[in-house]
Amino acid sequence: MVTLPDKEPTLRVVPFPHDTNQTGDIFGGWIMAQVDIAGGVIAARHARGRVATVAVNSFTFKQPVFVGDLVTFYATVTRVGKTSMTVDVEVFAQRNPKDQVTVRVTEASLTYVAVGADRRPREIAQP
């Protein structure tokens, strides 16, 4: 039995039929976009400003996502450099409201760079 992590989620979304691929599952690109949004939220919060995605280090789809699933994203900063940081994102789907089941559907690691108003890299203020 999988349970959601005991921390505040970064993002929660319910996919709709227009988010499906040709076989009726939620399109992987939709999940990738949501992962980037969740990672960007945490990265911008940590950098205290604008960030840009510079790399997708890893992305693993473990289970399909279905229309109507409640998809929850948990993002964590795992490494901070001078101008960039790595953010890991875990994704869970809760389905079957009558007899709820939770599954881990995706894991990803992305790199973001802090950028200034000129969209050039800037140093990340250390706490």
Tell me the domain boundaries of the chain.
Answer: 11-114
Instruction: Give residue-wise pLDDT tens across range 97-111.
Output: 888 999 999 999 999
Quickly list DSSP for 73-85.
EEEEEEEE-SSEE
pLDDT for the residue 127 = 64
Mean pLDDT confidence for 45-58: 97
- Compute the chain's Rg from CA coordinates: 16
Class of domain 11-114: alpha beta
| Mean of pLDDT values over 21-45 | 96
CA distances from 36 to 18, 22, 42, 56, 127 (A): 19, 23, 10, 9, 24
Share of the chain above pLDDT 70, in %: 99
Amino acid at 72: T
Question: Whole-prediction pTM value?
Answer: 0.94
Taking residues 60-75, what's their average pLDDT? 97
If you average pLDDT over residues 64-70, what whole number do you get?
96
